[in-house]
Structure formats: C-alpha cells, structure tokens
Structure 1
Amino acid sequence: MAWLVLLLLVALVTVVVVTRNLLVAEAESDATDALNQEAEEFKQFAAAGVDQETGARYENGTELLERHISRQFLDDDEIVLGITAEGAIVPQRGREAIALAERASRWQQIVANPASTDILPTRDGRLRWVKVPVVDDVGNADGTFVVAYAIDREIREIDETIRTLVLVSAIGLVVAAIASWVVSGQILEPVNLVRRAAARISHDDLTERIAVEGRDDIAALSEQFNGMLDRLEHAFGAQRQFLDDASHELRTPITIIRGNLEFVGDDDPAERAEVVRLCTDELDRMGRIVEDLLLLAKAERPDFVVAGEVGLVDLTSDIYAKLGALGDRRWELESIAEGEGLLDGQRVTQAVIQLAHNAVGHTRAGDVIRFGSAVTAAEASFWVADTGDGVRPEDAEAIFQRFSRGSAGGARANHTGAGLGLTIVTAIAEGHGGHVELQTTYRHGARFSLHLPQPAGHHERIEHREDDTA
C-alpha cells in the first residue's frame, strides 16, 4: 500500500508541476501575443495618420496618441500609455493594473531603454512591455506609445489555481490511501487466513483446513493449500504407521533372540545348536526386513527404475528359468511376449520373483503355478497365477500396504515374510508408470498381473525397425 501511495504521490506531484509550467508558459505566450497585437495595431493607425470620422490628418503625435488610446478597450492586466515629445503623459481610460502613468521612474526607464521590448521589475510585479516610437512627417521623434502587461498578476492567479489543485490532490491522496488500506485488507484477508492456518499447523496436528469461498485465485490457492495439507497428513500418518510397524516387526526377532540366549544351557550341545539355529533364522529375517526397507526407500528416488529396450522373449525365458528354484511346484509357462519393451529388466525380474515367492508360500508341493507375459501397443504385462487359497475380499487392498499379510495366509502362518513383498512389487510397477492388478476367488487361487505402459508408437517403431533389418 505504501508503494501504491508513493506512486500516486509522484504522479500527482508530476501533474501539478507540469500543469503549472504549462499554464505559466501559456500565460506568458498570451501576454506576448497581446503586446505584439497592440503594437501592430498602433503602427497601422499611425501609418494611416487620418481621423476616420473627420478625414483630417492628425496635427501632431500628441493628438495621434490621445485619439488611439481613447479608443482602446483593455484587459484587466493590460496597460497602454502615451508619452509626448515634451514628456507629458497620455493615460489610458480606467485604472491601471500596475501604476505606470503615475510613476515617472517606471515609464522613464521604458523610454530610456534602447530595446523595443523588455521586462520591468517592480514592487507590484513584473511588467512585460513593448514600445513604438511616434515620428512626424520629417522623421523627428514626436512621442512614444507604450503597451505593457502585468504578467505576475496572471501568474498569481495560476498559483492560486495550483494551490487549490494541490489541496484537492492531497485530499484525494488521503482518501486513496484509506481506501487502498481497506481494500487491500479485504483482498489479503484470505492470504492472511492461509498464513494463520499455516502457523497453527504442527507435526502433531495436521487437521487444520481453510474454508474455500468463491471461485477466484484466492479460492484456488485455498484449495491447493488444503490439498497439500491432505497429502502431508497422509504422508505423516503413513510415516508414523510405518515406524510403528517397522519397530514392531524388528522388535519381534530381537525378543526371540534375547529369550533364547537367556535360557540356553552350557552343558547341552544340542540345545545350543538349536538356539544358534533359531537366532540365525531370526537374524536372517531381520536382514531381509532391513533390505526390503532400504529398497522401498530407494523407490522414492527418480533413478529407482532405469528403463531401456529389453527383449521380452529373453526376459520371459530368464525369469521362468529362475522360478523352479523357488519351490517344488508345477511351474507352467502360459505365453511369451514377442518383440521388445521399454522397461527395467532387473526390476521386472525382481517383481515377478517376489510374486512367485508369495505364490509358493500360499500353495503346497505339487500345486500348479502359472507364469506368462504379453505385449500390446499400449502395455507390456507379466503375471503369476496360483491354485492356492486365494485372497479374502476384505484383504484385497490391505495386502498391498507395508507390513500387511492379510487376515490369514501362508506368509503370516509360517513367518516367512514381513509383509513388504507386494509393497515392493507395487513400487516397481509405479516406477514404470504402471500398476499391479489382483484377480482372485477365495479358496480358488489368485492371479497377480504387472501392467507396464509403453510409449505411444513404441511397438510400431520396433516392428518397423525389424522390417528394415529383414
């Protein structure tokens, strides 16, 4: 508001100064034009030298000056004066703007001045004057015609107008300052509301929200701010839940290890060997949890997935060759995608192995687990389907969350996982811009599909390149 008022003040000062200069310049120009016009009219009158009423010539300069001055109708600030050859004064009709005829010292300075026009400073103000000499038929001086203009009187009137303008401008500036203060307060009130809301937000309380009113930019800002608070609240909540779950998952193996170490006997080698085995198993589980947590932390980095052109036939064959080592199951390869895909082969392999590992944990020896891949112009997909117990409907969404194993299942039953596997698979899919799809019927198996979108036209470019190679 201060900058606005300052800008307005500079504008008003500029207007006042420029206006005064223009008015003064115009007044001085009008005065000069009026003096020149009066002087020219007298020259024409003197050149004629004839009384238009009687037709007789003027006998001398005095008669000429008296006749011309008596016929003048002057402005309030204009003065005409005749001075005969003998030094007598031929005054104008009415009162002079500034005493000239009565002040010999003033008109004598004008007569004695060699210039035909000049400015005479007086206590009453400046006089801009023009004089025209009167000569007889033989060229002798026979008087002087003087016309003057009281320019300072005009300027004083201009200054009075300017003072009025300054007063009105000052009042307008004050009114504008008050109005801008009120209006800016109303305009910025929503912003202040956002600021106060932000000041009330803390790590422990993210429930503060801003009331959204209207459809202007401030309302849009409030909506964005509320959306940011929603995301922050969700992120902090997920973080707290993650820390609680992680501390719980890590506390369990530590408790098991401590309990076994406290009751181990010194004289029983078999008991010590069993304790060492249990402790080693729990330490391995802790190591897997830590590795999974580190992997999920890397999933937030932009280089978590490094996509490149990968041959889908070779990738599918390599993954299928690795699946047999996960468990004694009947592994079936349903289909193989042909061509190339734009993806991260290592991350895709990691995700499929994780899905297959979960399938092994939810099936028994000899059960069928199917694996396959496919590609279209829009996406590449990989899937793992098993014939186990499937997923309960109420667990369909929960199993993708961290440290969640569902309400029942092999992973929780035999403690082979920490509930991070599907979270890692989801992170890999989302790193490719895709998603994980679950198709299941409880007690009749589950099918997890990894859908990875491909850039528009990528499949056609691959086929075109293969045609050129052929």
Structure 2
Amino acid sequence: MAISLVTVVVLVRSVLWRDMDERVNQLLGQETSEFHNFVEVGRDPRTGEPFDDPRRLLTDYLERQFPEPAEELLGFVPDSPGGRLIRQPREIRADLPLHEDQDAVERVLGAAERSGTLERPAGEVRWVKVHITTGGSDEPAVLVVAFHPQEAMASVRDVVRVLMLVAVLALLMTCVVGWWVAGGILKPIRLVRNTAHQLTEQDLSRRIPVRGSDDVSALARTFNAMLDRLERAFATQRRFVDDAGHELRTPITIVRGHLELMSEGADPASVAERRETLRLVSDELDRMSRIVEDLLLLAKAEQPDFVRPEPVQLAELTADVFVKARTLGERRWELAEVADGEWDVDPQRITQAMVQLAQNAVGHTGVGDTIRIGSRPLPGRVEFYVADSGPGVPDADAPFVFERFWRGPDRRGGGAGLGLSIVRAIAEGHHGRAELRPTPGGGATFLLTLETS
C-alpha cells in the first residue's frame, strides 16, 4: 500500500509539473505569435500606415495586451531618447520583477537563444524574446515575454503536499483496518493453535466453533474432523484395552483355578479328572484366542486398509456364502434370492460378515428351522441378508445387538458378544450399515446395506 501510494504521488506530481510546463510554453508561444501577427498587420493610429518606429510599435502593442498576473511583457529599444525600457504600468506577482533586475535583463538580452529559463535567487523566470527590425535601426528592438512560475509551482507543491497527507492518512487507515481484518481472519487460526495446545491424550473433546464458509472456516472444520478421528482412535484404543482386560480376565481365572486344583492335595488326581481339567483349560484357551482375534479384528477396523474393495459378481458371492453357511448346522437352508450385476466390495469381509450372521442364526434356532440367505439390488445400494425363523430379538434389546460384548438374556453358546460388532464394522468399512429387522412370521433378519461409493 505504501509503495502504491508513493507511486501515485510521484505520478501525480510528474503530471502536474508537465501540465504546468505545457501551459507556460503555450502561453509564451501564444504571446510571440500574437506579436508577430501585430508586426505584420498592425497600423500606426496617427498615420494609418505600418509602424516605422519600433518604440511606437512596442508601446502601442503593450497598451493593448492583458497578460496573466505572473506574466511580464517588456520592450527594449536601443539608443531611444525616451529610454531603453518600455513596460506596462502594473504590478507583477513576483518577488523581483524582471525589469527591476538589471543583471537578469542583460543576461536575457545577451543570450543567443530565442527562449530559455533564467535561474535567479529571487525565483525562476521562463522567457522568450522577439527581435524587431522596423525602422532600419542597426540594433534591433526586442520584445521579451517573461513568466514567473513561482505561484504555479507553489500550487503544484500544495497539491502534492495535500496528496501526501491524504496518502499518509490512507496508509494509517489501511494499517488500522488491515490490522483489524487480519486479526479477525487470524482469530480462528489462533483458536486452532490454542486448542491444539490444550489437547491431551485424556481430553480430546474440545472443538473449534465454525462460522461462515471461507477458507479459515474450512480449516476449522478440517481440524475438527481430525480431532473427531483422533478421539475415535483413542476411544477405540482405550475400549480395546478395557475389553481385552475384561474378557480375558475370566478365561485366565478359570485356567489358573483348574491348574491350582491339579496341584492341590496329597492324593494324585485321577486320570479322568486330569483329562476333564485339561479339556476345560483347552476350551478356555481357545475361547481366549478367539476373543483376542476378534478384538484385534475390531481394532483393525479403524484402519483405512481394513476393507479392500474390488469388482465382484454379486450372484457368485451370494452363492459362495450360502454354500459355506449351510455347513454350520442342521437347518433348512434356503437361497432366497440373488442379486445380479457387479459391485465393488471386499469379498472376504462380506463372506466373513455373512457367515457370522448365519452362525448367529444357527445359535438362535433349532434343528429343522428355516434360515434364508440372499441378496437384492436396490436404487443406489445392495442388501445382503440372513433371515431366521427363531424367537427373534425383543424390541428392548434391538438397539444394543451390535454393541460389543452385549448378550441377550436368552443367549445360547459361549461367545464373547463380538460377532455382531464385527459385522457392523465390516458394513461401515464399506460405507454402509448393519440393520436388524423382524422376519415376517417370526424371527430376526440381519441385513448388510452397502451404499454406492
């Protein structure tokens, strides 16, 4: 802004000086042109003939002129009985008029040039002179047109001074407004910095208020989204530790208790008791291993490479899931419907989720009950589902079936309650969702709804 204002001041000053010079030159040229014209066509009022006396010509011409206030018209006639100098009887706007500065007059008259600029301590003078040879005199008479530009120069300096003052005020105002605007723009950035400084591993709940739709607001939204991801990551980590500690404590306690029983007492345990103990220990270790694998799988679900989609034929994928699921138990398995077309999914994860749903259906049904597996296309999405004819899920329990370690009151089997959580994680990894709906006629229907990516 300062450079721009200085450039404007310099340019305006140059333009004003140029305009003043052009005006002075135009004025001097106009005066000389008028005088040349008067010399050619002028007539002596006493005789009606052309002037033959330079003094009378200059006197008559000067009496008819009305020059500018800073303009001075002087006539010089050599060896004239009436005096050498002829001037208009009027005041000149100059500290020292040219006719009062004898040295300056001699320098002008003695100059070889027809025009020029005379530098004096009293002020600059722009001049032009015209020689007159009327009357046959050996030394010609001279008309000098002088202009004193001090007043015009002072006006230019006043304009430049005012312009500089306006520029300084504009620069100060710009600084104040710029400081205020920059402060408003940088306020959210300072808030981002302060928020980041206050974040700790124990408290990731702080967020930046977002107002507007500019780039800084977009930065705040991006920072809030990053905090959301960090909070979810830390929450997943803490939940994994809590879940692992909670679920692994029970089988470890059982294993420790049975091992202690084997070492207690003086009488050696019977072979059957040892075998039963080893079987229980082995079962608990297997269950603990499955819990660890499920927990690791859920922890991996937060990573970007948890799901690796690829183009898959839906009909072929559904048929493969049905073939694998029907080996889980003696049920009446039905392939209800098959979706046609190609879809970008991770076939291994979808198979894992569908088999888990089928295993869940087997756990809630008896021999001979019906379990239906299928897939169907819908506008913008595709659904995979497993429907059973079991007792279904009570309405009070439906909102919690996909939570970790949740078990219903009539839960069968010894699972840790992580299966449906894994199903939900796989669905969300595909940008979809897992749902529970009642089966017409009784039972539960679990769906994987995958949206178009």
TM-score range, shorter chain: 0.7 to 0.9
SS in 1 for 2:165: helix
- 8 Å contact from structure 1 (residues 310, 345) kept in 2: no
The corresponding residue for 1:142 is: 140
Question: Does 1:373 pair with 2:395?
Answer: no
Within 5 Å, which residues of 2 pair with 1:108-257? 108-138=106-136, 140-182=138-180, 184-185=182-183, 196=194, 199-208=197-206, 236-237=234-235, 239-257=237-255
SS in 1 for 2:333: strand
Structure 1 426/180 Cα, relative in aligned 2: closer, same or farther at 3 Å?
same
SS in 2 for 1:394: coil
Q: Distance in 1 between matches of 2:136 and 2:444?
A: 136
Q: CA deviation at 1:453?
A: 5.0
Cα deviation, 1:136-162, whole Å, max 9, x if unaligned, reads 254744311111112344213311222
- Is the deviation greater in 189-198 or in 46-55? 189-198
Structure 1 136/93 Cα, relative in aligned 2: closer, same or farther at 3 Å?
same
- 8 Å contact from structure 2 (residues 236, 299) kept in 1: no
- 8 Å contact from structure 2 (residues 51, 134) kept in 1: no
Cα deviation, 1:436-457, whole Å, max 9, x if unaligned, reads 33223799532223344579xx
Question: Does 1:358 pair with 2:356?
Answer: no
- Identify the match of residue 423 of structure 1 among 421, 424, 432: 421
- Identify the match of residue 16 of structure 2 among 23, 26, 39: 23
- Is the deviation greater in 19-28 or in 72-81? 72-81
Q: Distance in 2 between matches of 1:305 and 1:205?
A: 33
Q: CA deviation at 1:264?
A: 2.2
SS in 2 for 1:157: helix
The corresponding residue for 1:337 is: 338
Q: Which amino acid aligns with 1:39?
A: T
SS in 1 for 2:100: coil
- Identify the match of residue 89 of structure 2 among 88, 93, 104: 93
Q: Distance in 2 between matches of 1:362 and 1:40?
A: 120
The corresponding residue for 1:74 is: 67
Q: Distance in 1 between matches of 2:151 and 2:47?
A: 40
SS in 2 for 1:326: coil
SS in 2 for 1:264: helix
SS in 1 for 2:327: helix
Cα deviation, 1:423-469, whole Å, max 9, x if unaligned, reads 222233333444333223799532223344579xxxxxxxxxxxxxx
Within 5 Å, which residues of 2 pair with 1:273-352? 273-299=275-301, 300-302=303-305, 304-310=307-313, 312=315, 314-327=316-329, 329-337=330-338, 339-342=340-343, 343-352=345-354
Question: Does 1:13 pair with 2:6?
Answer: yes
SS in 2 for 1:125: coil
- Is the deviation greater in 435-444 or in 133-142? 435-444
> Over aligned residue pairs, what C-alpha RMSD do you find?
3.4
- 8 Å contact from structure 2 (residues 118, 124) kept in 1: yes
The corresponding residue for 1:388 is: 390
Q: Which amino acid aligns with 1:116?
A: R
Cα deviation, 1:350-388, whole Å, max 9, x if unaligned, reads 222111211222234x24141332434645444333343
SS in 2 for 1:90: strand
Structure 1 123/430 Cα, relative in aligned 2: closer, same or farther at 3 Å?
same
- Percent identical across equivalent pairs? 40
Q: Distance in 1 between matches of 2:177 and 2:447?
A: 64
SS in 1 for 2:313: strand
- 8 Å contact from structure 2 (residues 74, 88) kept in 1: yes
Q: Distance in 2 between matches of 1:438 and 1:344?
A: 22
Cα deviation, 1:188-233, whole Å, max 9, x if unaligned, reads 65665565555544443345456677x6658888788777766765
- Is the deviation greater in 46-55 or in 62-71? 46-55
Cα deviation, 1:105-161, whole Å, max 9, x if unaligned, reads 212221221111111111122222111001025474431111111234421331122
- Paired residues, what number? 440
- Identify the match of residue 44 of structure 2 among 21, 44, 51: 51
Q: Distance in 1 between matches of 2:331 and 2:100?
A: 135
The corresponding residue for 1:402 is: 404
SS in 1 for 2:67: coil
Q: CA deviation at 1:33?
A: 0.5
Q: Which amino acid aligns with 1:330?
A: R
SS in 2 for 1:80: strand
For normalisation by structure 2, the TM-score amounts to 0.83
Structure 2 alignment gaps of length 5 or more: none
Q: CA deviation at 1:238?
A: 5.1
Q: Distance in 2 between matches of 1:59 and 1:451?
A: 118
Structure 1 368/139 Cα, relative in aligned 2: closer, same or farther at 3 Å?
farther
Structure 1 246/54 Cα, relative in aligned 2: closer, same or farther at 3 Å?
farther
- 8 Å contact from structure 2 (residues 331, 368) kept in 1: yes
